[in-house]
Amino acid sequence: MESWCQRTLTLGKYTVTIFLGFFCTLLVEPIRCVDERFLWKPNSEVVIQGVGNGIEWFTRNETRPNHYRILMVQGDNMMVAARNHFYNISMISLQENMHSEWNASSSAVNSCTIRDKPENCQNYIRVIALNETNLFVCGTNAFKPICRSYDIEHGSYVTRYEYNGVGKCPFDPKHNSTAILVDKHLFTATVTDTSGRDPLIFREMIRTEQHDSRWLNEPDFVSSFEYGDKVYFIYREAAVENINCGKVVFSRIARVCKADQGGLRSLGGIWTTFYKARLNCSIPGEFPFYFNEVEHATNVLSGNHVSSRKFDKSHDIFYAIFNTPENSAPASAVCAFSMKQVIKTFKGRFKGQKSAGHNWLPVSKDETPNPHPEACQQNSKRIDDETLNFIKSHPLMNDAVPSLGDQPILVYTGFNYRFTRVAVHPQYQAVDGRKYDILFIGTNDGHVLKVVNIDQGKKVRSIVIEEIKVFHHGAKVEGLEVYHNFGMEKLVIVSSDDIVSIPLHRCHEKKSCKECVALQDPYCSWLDGKCSAFTSQGEISQIQDIRYGFHARCEEEEINVYHLGSLPNSFLDNEIPRIHRNKGIIRLTTPHGNPNEIEAPDHRPIESRNHLTTAEFIPTPIFIGSLVFVFLLASGLGFIVGFKVSTCKDSQDNDSTIDDATANLRVHQENDHYYAKPDNRAPTKYNNYWDGSPRAGKVPNNGSEFRPVNTYTNVKGKTYL
C-alpha cells in the first residue's frame, strides 16, 4: 500500500504543476477569461490644460469648497446651486448672468453647531425650479430646510416670501434628493427628518405611505422627469422582495399620476397611483452579472442606442449610469431604457407576498383589480376601497424593465475609477448618413469618456473615441451638459469646485487622413487636406469611417503626397504594428487599425497587406493583484507541503525501528527480543506487571489491576510488559 508520505509527495507535485500552469496562464493569456467588450481602449487620450481653443473656466472669489451642482438647464442658461449661493450662468460664454447669496439663519446655525460640524451647518441649495414669473429655491439652512420664492427684477433676484422646506428639501446635505416643477406643482423626492428614516415622494397635500418598507425602503433618489400624464422618479433602495435572501440594493423607476388626489377614506392624502419596478442593467448569461446601483440618469430624449439610418424613427429613451456596490468587485456600466418598455412593465403583473415571511411571488390576474389600476383617473377619490387596499399592499411590479439590447452599452471594470454622470448628444448624423447617439461619461477621478455605439440592429458594440482628463486633482465629475445651438457646440463639466466648458471634438489635432479616420469620431472627417468638423456641405468628398476606422481613400491621399515606396510607416514597408503601452491589457492590434475592433471591413484589401499582429502586455491593477494572490497562496501551500515532506524521513525511520523491535516478539522467532533481556536496558523507575491473579472486577472491562513498582528484579515466572 502506498505510504502517506508518497501520497503527500505526489499531491505536492501535482499542486506545484497546477499553480505553475495557472501562473503561466495569467502571464500569457489573461484576456481569455474576460469579455473583449470590457477591454476597450480609447482611440485618443486628451488632457485639458489652461484656457483658449474653446476651453473656458467659471471662476469666483468665494472660499472653497463651493459644492457646485447643475439643478436646471433652460435654453442657453443653467442654474447652478452651491453652498450659500446659486448662479444663473450662460452656457455660451460661461459667464455669470445673475447670482444670489443666501446664508443659513443665525438661529439655525447656532443650534446646528451644537450637534454637527460647522461645515454642515451651511445653506446648501438643493432645489431650483422656475415657472413663467417666479423662481423657487430651497436650501438645507443648517438642518432646518427652508424655501424662497423670487421675482426677477432689473437683472437680479428679489425675495417675495419664505416658507417651510420640510418635504421639499433634505435636512442633511449628504442626503440625495430630486425635484421637478410640473404644471405649477413641485414634485419632490427627499427625506423629512435629520436621520433620513422617513423618505417620501411628495407633492403638496399628498405623499407616499409613511413607514411602509413596501413603498420606500432606505432610498437614494437620483433623478426625476415628466412623461405624458405621469411623473417618474429614478432611485436605488434596499430590495424588500429579496429580504428573505439577505439585504441587497436594487435600482428602481417609480411613477405617479400628475393629477392624483389621493383616496377618499383609504389612502387619504396618499398616492393612489404609486408603482415601482426594477431597472435591469446586467451582463446576460446563465448567471447574469447585475449592476444594481443606479448613480445618474438623463431626461427622456429622442434617440437610439444603436446607429440608425437617416430616415429611421427615433425613440423616447433615457440613459443611466450603474455601479456595483462599494464592497464588491468595482465595475460601472451605461444602460439605455425605452419608455415604451417602461410603460409596458407598469401595465403588467404585480408582485406581492401573502404575509410577512412568505416569498414575493407574481400576483395572478384573478387577484388583480379589473381594469388594471395603473391608468390615471380623473378623480382618484372615486376609486373603491377594495382597489385602494390592493394598491396599498402591491406597489411593486413583477417584471423588471430590461435595458435596450439586453446588455450595457459600455462596461468598465477596474480600480481606477467609476462612472458618475452621463450626457448625450442624440441622433448626430455622420458622413455615412447614419445617426448616432454620442455619449459623454464622467468619472469619479475627473475624466470624461466620449463613446458611440457603432453597431446596427439590436447588437451593442461601442467605441471609446476619447478619454479626456479634465480635472487634474482627480475631482469627481458632478455634472455634465451638452450644449449645441447657433452653430456652437460644447460640453459643460462640473466638479464640486470647478465649472469648465470644452469643445465636443478636437478634430484639428489629427494631422493625417489615417489618424483622422481612425479616430472614429462622428464629429470629424478629412476634407481638403485637414481633419475638421463634419458639415453637411461637401458631404460626398469628406472621408470618414466610424464603423471600422479605415478608408481606402486615405491611401490615395498619401500616395498623392509621397512617392511610391517612400511612404513612412506604411503597409508597403512591412510595418510592425504599434504597441499601446498605457492601458494595462493584452491586445492584438492591426496596423493602422482600430484597437477596439478586430473585424475588418469588407472593402479592406487585407490580402495585399502584411497583416501582422503583436501582443501587448501591460499589467493592470487586477492582474497585479491576481499575481500577488497566486504567489502568496502558492507560497503557503508550498510551505505546508514542504513541511509535511520534511517529516517523512523521520517518520519512516521511526516506523522501521519499531518494526525491527517488535518483529522478534512473533512466534517461532529465533532471536531474542530486545526487551527480553533486561540487562540490555537501563532500570526504569516505574513499570507495570501482571502476576497472573484472577480478574478483580475493580477496573473497566473487568481486567486485572495494574500496580506500579519502584524497582524490580528478574523474577522467574513473570512476563514483563
Tens of pLDDT, residues 17-40 = 445 444 444 444 443 344 556 678
Measured distance CA(461)–CA(306) in Å, rounded: 9
Which of 618, 636, 653 terminates a domain? The answer is 618
Predicted pLDDT at 59: 83
Q: What is the mean pLDDT of residues 103-121?
A: 93
* String of DSSP letters for 160-187: EEEEE-BTTB-SSTTS--EEEEETTEEE
pLDDT band at 592 (very low <50, low <70, confident <90, very high): very low
Q: Which of 383, 193, 184, 346 is closest to 272 using CA atoms?
A: 383
Where b means 16+ CB within 10 Å and e means fewer, 187-224 reads bbbbbbebebeebbbbbeebbbbeeeebbbbebbbbbb
Q: What is the mean pLDDT of residues 291-295?
A: 98
Predicted pLDDT at 61: 65
Comparison of pLDDT for 432 and 606, the residue scoring more: 432
Which of 371, 404, 420 terminates a domain? The answer is 420
Whether 715 maps to a domain, the answer reads: yes
pLDDT band at 94 (very low <50, low <70, confident <90, very high): very high
Which of 60-69, 420-429, 448-457, 639-648 has the least mean pLDDT? 639-648
Whether 113 maps to a domain, the answer reads: yes
Which of 618, 633, 649 terminates a domain? The answer is 618
**In the chain, % of residues over pLDDT 70:** 72
Q: What is the mean pLDDT of residues 204-225?
A: 96
Whether 273 maps to a domain, the answer reads: yes
pLDDT band at 130 (very low <50, low <70, confident <90, very high): very high
Task: State the amino acid at position 712 in one-letter form.
Answer: Y
Query: Per-residue pLDDT for 312 more than 60?
Result: yes
pLDDT band at 176 (very low <50, low <70, confident <90, very high): very high
The two beta strands, 85-90 and 77-81, are antiparallel
Exposed/middle/buried for 655, CB within 10 Å: 0-12, 13-18, 19+?
Answer: exposed
Measured distance CA(493)–CA(450) in Å, rounded: 13
CB atoms inside a 10 Å sphere around CB 534? 22
- Are 571 and 697 in a shared domain? no
Whether 452 maps to a domain, the answer reads: no
Tens of pLDDT, residues 708-720 = 545 545 555 555 4
- Are 87 and 191 in a shared domain? yes
The total number of structural domains that make up the chain: 3
Side-chain-facing half-sphere of 503: CA atoms under 13 Å:
17
Where b means 16+ CB within 10 Å and e means fewer, 480-506 reads bbbbeeeeebbbbbbbbbbbbbbbbbb
Tens of pLDDT, residues 531-578 = 998 876 556 789 999 999 999 889 776 655 444 444 333 333 333 333
Predicted pLDDT at 332: 97
The residues facing 338 across adjacent strands are 317
Predicted pLDDT at 410: 96
- How many helices (H) and strands (E) the chain has is answered by 8, 41
pLDDT band at 62 (very low <50, low <70, confident <90, very high): low
At residue 426, what are phi and psi to the nearest 5 degrees? Answer: -80, 145
Residue reference for cell 470629424: 524
Query: Per-residue pLDDT for 693 more than 90?
Result: no
Predicted pLDDT at 646: 63
Which of 92-96, 560-564, 601-605, 709-713 has the least mean pLDDT? 601-605
Measured distance CA(143)–CA(172) in Å, rounded: 6
**Residue-averaged pLDDT of the chain:** 81
- Are 133 and 251 in a shared domain? yes
Predicted pLDDT at 375: 94
Q: For the domain that residue 78 is a member of, what is the CATH number?
A: 2.130.10.10
Whether 681 maps to a domain, the answer reads: yes
Identify the domain containing residue 701 by its residue range.
673-720
- Are 560 and 679 in a shared domain? no
Q: Which of 189, 225, 182, 407 is closest to 316 using CA atoms?
A: 225
